[in-house]
A and B are shown apart, each in its own frame.
Chain A
Amino acid sequence: MRFYKIKLWHDDCIFFEYMVKIIEDVMDFLKSVPPFEFLSDEVINSITVKTSMEYYPKGTHILIQDGAPSEFLYIIKKGGVRVYRRVENEEVVIDYRSEGDTFGFVSLMSGDKSRANVVAIDDTICYLIPKETISNLINKYPEVRDFFLRSFMNIYLDKGYRDDQSKKAITYTVDKILFTTPVEEIATKNVITVTENTSIREAAKIMCGNSISSLIVIDNQGIPLGIITDKDLRKKVVASARNVDEPVKNIMSYPIIKIDAKDFCFEAVVRMLKYNIHHLLVIKNGKINGIITNHDIMMLQGFSPITIVRDLEIQQTVEGLINATKQINSIVGNLISQGAKASNITRIITEINDRIVKKVIQFAEREFGQPPVPYCWIALGSEGRKEQTFKTDQDNALIYADPPQAQQDAVQKYFLEFTGYIKENLLKCGFPPCPGDIMASNPKWCQPLKVWKKYFSQWIYTPKGENINLSNIFFDFRGIYGDLSLEENLRDYLLGIVKDQKVFLGYLANLAVRNKPPLGFFKTFVVEKSGEHKDKLNLKIKGIAPIVDIIRLFSLEKSVRETSTLERIEVLKNKHTVVRDYADEIIYAFEFLMLLRIRHQYEQVIRGSMPDNFIDPESLSNLEKKLLKDTFQLISKLQDILIERYKLMII
């Protein structure tokens, strides 16, 4: 209540202009939220007057999985929510949404029970738009309809409509479907099994009779042994003129890779990529439930990362590879907009990059003939840790088996030509050379096993300056191609000598606490003070690197063989007390930082600029700022623990 003895008259005569100030504020907000941004003021106004506003204290469950269908489209005005599903007592986070994001649409439109839980992770204010208003918009405005249908995909709608829409799906970029659809929803349920001794002829008849493209082969206990697909019939029977009276076990593909019915489709994609197959057996409660194929996933979302892998596999020239690699950005963009976790995105990028590298190495073998001794191509740094985001510098090296004395020079000569070719061709595929020349084409980093052992022991026993930096890069090495036993051998050696080297580990600890996260971030903005990146935050140095360094240190201490930070954490959970206590928080923080980085770099790539690690804190949403703050606090806590543990060593 105010008393305007003086001021009011002036306002009074213009009251028409501000009488709907509240409504104008909501309109302004809606105008910044897709799909409302496409609509005219008049239409937005008509939506606004139907809108209501709710407040949910932190921790409130706004929608409940399998609960009543949503009656509203919720738009977050302030705060944030976590969307998650509970699958067999495990919480699977689907997404975090913050200011300007919406939720409740799928259940709203389908009238089905809510598919997920939505919980406020901060005090949250939402605008609620009633179902009827949204339905009217969808009927009247194609741009609104397209937006929502794109966003939430069409499996929720009736099938006729879905078929019609799926043709367009290829251009859609905002579906989160891979991460929200359990395998069983799209798997083919019509699974027919045959025993291993069934004849090929009989099997083919069954396939034709049932119009299916695959059969599961079981043994007499009913345990699945393998699978026969159309492809097997074409390649192994017709093309090689095999006798059709032979048993199917002679032509089946095996082993058969399984997936749980409750797993999300993304997991299916990863498995298909990993094993280079197109069929997975879906298992529910220990029994065969169905088959899921690459085709099912294509149908689901109109594109599949598996397709690019197939594209890469068939290329016979570097030029062909270059064309195929052009799809990577759009795949990453898709994954980002689907709300993929950072680790899922880097898994896909790693799979794809590894294949490109392997392919180039195969071309080199074709070019230079079989190598004189076995060798192993290793990736270093972030590539070794499987944490590459957008195309980064080449960081690699080559280990070859110790050659007989007399052949040393010839062998070295072969491998230098070999690695020089690989370097040039990786460059053509978009991997720039390492500025520090840490590449297999550098004679120093193209060495027989015994020299590598000498390097490693030198670095560990005389941990000075450059040696420590090299350790940090090289000790994340991962075998990509060739004789992987060489890599195993070197790792055994490393883990054997490093674990008791207190001085060396102390140096690593020192390095891991050197970069303090900017704790005063949101008050004082501890960001770059000068230069090109003034007022920006270096995510890599201030956030990602400290976590990577700390986890590497613990891994070397506890002889962990894994190289990726997240995999190391999983193993360290049972080996290291600090990790046991903080594992979930560290994983969460790391995922969050990586995702910020990937999104930032993706935006840069789209704009055509070089990806970097400098983010503008002002560009973050309030929720992101809060999460970033929590992350920095965690890193600082870990660094304090490190200082405590290694206090004698830290200089």
Chain B
Amino acid sequence: MLRLFRKKIEKNAISKQLISDTDFVVVDTELTGLNEFKDNIIAIGAIKMKGRTIKIGDVFYRTVSPSTNKFRKESIMIHEITPSELENCPKIEPILKEFKDFSKDCIFVGHCVDIDLSFLKREIRNNLKGLFDPLGIDTLLIYKWLIKKGILSQSFLNKNSLEDIALSLGIEARELHDALSDAFITAQIFQKLLIYLSELKIFTVGELIEIGSIDERRYQTIMKKEAYQL
């Protein structure tokens, strides 16, 4: 309750801020699956933006050692990776800490970012102490909203995957693979979507949150995402 209240204050403070002055971190995680209880993060990719500017040099990419046995077994079976090799892969705690520092004071942006955030929150809660509850902006929601407004073509309505959306906006998506490349594609999508928003005279973070924040709709979106099978 208290936390929610605090977040509301933060939101109010930031809502007047101009999008062009705002720091964003565009994030993508690779997961072992969609089950929030059983599955794990295996990679985090992120790139920073200031307003519409993508900062090529401000990137983050780490793969982590997964903790579920189920995943281990499958991997070993298929890739014949020995347990000792697995030991060489880094542990999650320092990576999470590093990532927390990297993304400090940024608004999170992602393609269905709520999934990434829910996993990140759980991992941070389990592994680190301290609060982690950033604002999240979902590029898919903005995309859909622009279709509804008639700014983007109705024919894009059935596009949900990152790749399809990128292609529909004329962004090259041939490197879609690791979390960082996907975050970079998402950043380019966000860049274009912000231009469409600016044409509608949408310049403040408050308005952006109205359109793209997943906070209020978390539970529906998770279900929705399962259906999209991203």
Q: Taking the complex as formed, is B144 at the interface, i.e. its CB lies under 8 A from any CB of chain A?
A: no
Which residues from 1 to 34 on chain A have a C-beta closer than 8 Å to any C-beta of chain B? 1-6, 8-13, 15, 18-23, 25-26
Instruction: Check if B116 sits within 8 Å of A54, measured CB to CB.
Output: no
A22 contact from B42, B62, B184, Cβ within 8 A:
B184
Are A9 and B79 interface neighbours, CB within 8 A?
Answer: yes
By a CB distance below 8 angstroms, the chain B residues around A21 are 175, 178, 180-181
Q: Are B53 and A8 in contact (CB under 8 A)?
A: no
User: Do residues A3 and B32 form an inter-chain contact, with CB atoms below 8 A?
Assistant: yes
A10 in contact with B79 (CB, 8 Å): yes
Given contacts A9-B79, A13-B89, A19-B61, contact A3 B191 (CB under 8 A): no
CB distance from B163 to the nearest CB of A (A): 10
CA distance A389 to B98 in the complex (A): 62
Nearest-neighbour CB distance to chain A for B88, whole angstroms, equals 7
B115 contacts partner chain A, Cβ-Cβ < 8 Å: yes
A12 pairs with B89, CB closer than 8 A = yes
Knowing A1-B116, A22-B180, say if A52 contacts B75 (CB, 8 Å).
Answer: no
Contacts A9-B75, A48-B57, A51-B56 given; does A15 touch B30 at CB 8 Å: no
Near A by CB (< 8 A), chain B positions 165-185 give 170, 175-182, 184
**A314 is an interface residue with CB less than 8 A from chain B:** no
**A50 located at the interface, meaning its Cβ lies under 8 Å from any Cβ of chain B in the complex:** yes
**Chain B CB within 8 A of A128 CB:** yes
Bound-complex Cα distance A26 to B180 (A): 14
Flag whether B14 is at the interface (Cβ < 8 A). Answer: no
Please name all residues of chain A whose beta carbon is closer than 8 Å to the beta carbon of B176 when the two chains form the complex: 2
What residues on B are CB-neighbors of A18 within 8 Å? 178
Known: A5-B33, A22-B47. A52 touches B42 (CB 8 A): no
A residues 123-164 touching B (CB-CB < 8 Å): 123, 127-128
Q: Is the CB of B33 within 8 A of A19?
A: no
Chain A proximity mask over B107-125: 1 for CB below 8 Å, otherwise 0: 0001110011000000000
Decide: B85 and A13 in contact? CB cutoff 8 A.
yes
Q: Is the CB of B57 within 8 A of A49?
A: yes
B55 to chain A: which residues have CB within 8 Å? 52
Q: Are B57 and A55 in contact (CB under 8 A)?
A: no
Q: Is the CB of A8 within 8 A of B43?
A: yes
Interface centre among A2, A13, A25 (most CB of B within 10 A): A2
Which A residue sits closest to B191, measured CB to CB?
Answer: A55
- The answer to whether B89 touches A22, judged by C-beta atoms less than 8 angstroms apart, is no
Q: C-beta contact mask, B177-197 vs A, less than 8 Å → 1, else 0? A: 111111010001001100100
CB-based contact A1/B79 at 8 Å: no
- Residues of A within 8 Å of B89, CB to CB, are 12-13
Residue among B53, B75, B86 having the largest count of chain A Cβ atoms under 10 Å: B75
Residues on B with C-beta less than 8 A from A123 are 170
- Complex: how many Å from CA A159 to CA B182? 50
Is B74 an interface residue when CB atoms closer than 8 A count as contact? yes
B13 at the interface (CB under 8 A from A): no
B227 on the A face (CB < 8 A): no
Closest residue on chain A to residue B161 by CB atoms = A1
The answer to whether B182 and A15 have CB atoms under 8 Å apart is no
Q: Which residue of A lies closest to B110 (CB)?
A: A1
Q: How far is A180 from B88 in the complex, measured between Cα atoms in Å?
A: 60
A53 at the binding interface (Cβ < 8 Å):
yes
Interface string of B201-218 (1 = CB under 8 A from A): 000000000000000000
Q: How far is the CB of A469 from chain B (nearest CB, A)?
A: 47
Known: A11-B178, A22-B47, A53-B53. A5 touches B74 (CB 8 A): yes
Q: Name B192's contact: one of A6, A48, A55 (CB within 8 Å).
A: A55
- Taking a contact as CB atoms under 8 Å apart, the answer to whether B59 and A22 are in contact is yes
Bound complex: CA A1 to CA B71 (Å) = 18
Identify B74's interface contact among A3, A6, A48, CB under 8 A: A6
Give B230's nearest chain A residue, CB to CB. Answer: A1
Task: Write 9 A-B pairs (CB below 8 A) sorted by A numbering.
Answer: A1-B182, A3-B30, A3-B32, A9-B86, A21-B175, A22-B180, A23-B59, A55-B192, A55-B195
Q: Which residues of B contact A (CB under 8 A)?
A: 28-34, 42-43, 47, 50, 52-59, 61-63, 71, 74-75, 78-79, 81, 85-86, 88-89, 110-112, 115-116, 162, 170, 175-182, 184, 188, 191-192, 195, 230
**A-B residue pairs, 9 tightest by C-beta:** A49-B57, A53-B54, A9-B75, A51-B56, A19-B61, A12-B63, A52-B53, A15-B63, A55-B191
Interface residues of A (CB under 8 A from B): 1-6, 8-13, 15, 18-23, 25-26, 48-55, 57, 123, 127-128
Given contacts A3-B30, A8-B42, 6 further A-B pairs with CB under 8 A are: A1-B162, A3-B31, A5-B33, A12-B43, A22-B184, A52-B54
